Structure formats: C-alpha cells, structure tokens
C-alpha cells in the first residue's frame, strides 16, 4: 500500500482541465459543418442517408449526417468545433445564415434536482457499440465524468434519466420502453448518436424504428457516428448549466 501511495503521488493529477481550460481538438476531427449553398446541386446533395437538401437555400441535417466526409467537394466542409448537442430536433438542421443553436439548460426545477447528481441508465437499442465506447471513455481518469456528479448506473430504479444508443430495433423496443417506465419521475432522455436520433445507416430498415423520439420525449440530442466524447460532455454540461 505504501508503495502504491508513493507511485500515485509521483503520477500527479491526470484529469484534463476542461471545462476551465479549452479543449484542443485534432485537425482530423469532423465537427460542426460549414455549408456552402452556392455549391449545392442535385448531384452534390445525393447523400444516401438524406442528410443534405437543396431546398430553401440548402440544409444539412446533423441528425442524419454520419460525418463520413464522403460529401462531394464544395458544399460541405467540417470544422473542428465539437459543440454539436442540442435540445430540440429542429436545431440539428444547419442552414446558411441561420442562427446556430446549442443545448439549452434544463428547467430550473430539474437543474436544482439533477445539478449535483445525475444518474443514467444506458440502453443499447441495437447499437454497434461505437457510441457506447465513446460514452464509456468519459468515465476514464482523463475525462472523469464523475467529477461533475454524472454517472451511469446498473438499475433504472437508481437512475434519473435514460441514455439511448442504437436505432431502436424491434427486438429492443419493448425493453427500451420498460426501462423508461422503471425510471422514477421526473426523468430525462438522451439520444446519443445518429442511430438513436434518426436510425443512422439503418434508417428505414424493416427491423428498426429510426430512433427513439418516435416513442419517448427526448431532452438532449447528441449527433455523430459516433459522437466525440467532447461532444457528449459538452451537451451534458450545457443542460446542467455548467458552461458559460
């Protein structure tokens, strides 16, 4: 034990300083898009998942976008801005010249209740494990999600909210609804990743339901395939009003 304590002292503080200090993101990160409507055409908007639209001056739906970077050169380029989470589905629609939205704080009564202790029960509703893996990263020593009072628990009876990944397959639909019912009220729902928002690459498939908001009210949408851990953490801190 003595040697372990000495080793820990030598290691020092390993948790990142964020949110007190800004995050430095890698250049290869595909974050908030820069949409150029003048470059859009019927051919350039041929996204297989329907994320790009040429109507009304052009639009990119972040809820459908897989950030695959397969867009034809010109209409879309991705910045390194990881702040993508929003609280309303329509705020995921990126339009040139239209005000950008960020995740809004929860109502005051819920912030008072969850501000110091927010527990989630995660349900992988047919996910590929990518969103689950990037969510799990937040529990490691570098991110230390627990320092904000946010944790994932094993039982819905101990949870304050439901964390959904995956496109909601028919085989997981009932389990998802039963888990939601088992969480005591008041409760919140988070849709993490493109699959949970709109079905992702599986949208309109016979066995899936194109996301969770067709069944349950969603309080936080976190786009991405998968979302970067910084995107996830940013959304959580914003709904708790811990970012200024």
- Between CA 142 and CA 144, with CA 143 as vertex, the angle to 5 degrees is 100
Confidence of residue 239 (pLDDT cuts 50, 70, 90): very high
Look up the pTM and report it: 0.92
Confidence of residue 144 (pLDDT cuts 50, 70, 90): very high
Note the pLDDT tens digit of each residue in 11-65.
666 788 899 888 989 999 999 998 876 656 555 567 888 888 877 677 889 999 9
Is the pLDDT reported for residue 179 higher than 90?
yes
Asked whether 85 and 232 are in contact (CB, 8 A), the reply is yes
In sign, the C-alpha dihedral spanning 18, 19, 24, 28 is positive
Percent of the chain scoring above 90 in pLDDT: 70
Is the pLDDT reported for residue 157 higher than 90?
yes
At the top level of CATH, the class of 108-239 is alpha beta
SS3 content of the chain, % helix, strand, coil (to 5): 30, 15, 55
CB count within 10 Å of CB 220 equals 23
Q: State which H helix or E strand residue 178 sits in.
A: helix 170-182
Question: How many angstroms separate the CA atoms of 157 and 231, rounded?
Answer: 27
| pLDDT number for residue 43 | 54
Confidence of residue 198 (pLDDT cuts 50, 70, 90): very high
Q: State which H helix or E strand residue 190 sits in.
A: strand 188-192
CB proximity list for 200: less than 8 A, separation 6 or greater = 49, 66, 167, 193, 194, 225
Q: What is the DSSP letter of 100?
A: P
Q: Which residue has the higher pLDDT, 70 or 191?
A: 191
């Amino acid at each position: 034990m003595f040697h372990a304590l000495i080793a820990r002292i030598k290691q020092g503080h390993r948790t990142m300083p964020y949110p007190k200090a800004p995050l430095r993101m890698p250049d290869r990160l595909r974050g908030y898009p820069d949409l150029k409507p003048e470059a859009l055409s019927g051919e350039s908007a041929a996204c297989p998942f329907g994320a790009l639209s040429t109507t009304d001056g052009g639009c990119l739906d972040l809820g459908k976008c897989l950030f695959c970077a397969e867009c034809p050169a010109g209409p879309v380029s991705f910045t390194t801005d990881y702040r993508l989470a929003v609280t309303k589905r329509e705020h995921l629609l990126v339009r040139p010249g239209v005000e950008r939205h960020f995740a809004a704080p929860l109502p005051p009564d819920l912030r008072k209740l969850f501000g110091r202790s927010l527990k989630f029960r995660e349900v992988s509703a047919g996910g590929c494990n990518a969103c689950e893996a990037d969510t799990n990263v937040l529990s490691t020593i570098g991110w230390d999600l627990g320092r904000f009072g946010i944790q994932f628990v094993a039982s819905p009876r101990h949870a304050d909210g439901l964390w959904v990944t995956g496109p909601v397959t028919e085989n997981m639909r009932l389990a998802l609804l039963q888990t939601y019912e088992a969480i005591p009220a008041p409760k919140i729902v988070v849709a993490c990743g493109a699959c949970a928002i709109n079905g992702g690459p599986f949208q309109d498939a016979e066995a899936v339901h194109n996301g969770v908001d067709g069944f349950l009210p969603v309080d936080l949408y976190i786009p991405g395939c998968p979302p970067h851990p910084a995107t996830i953490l940013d959304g959580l801190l914003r709904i708790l009003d811990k970012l200024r």
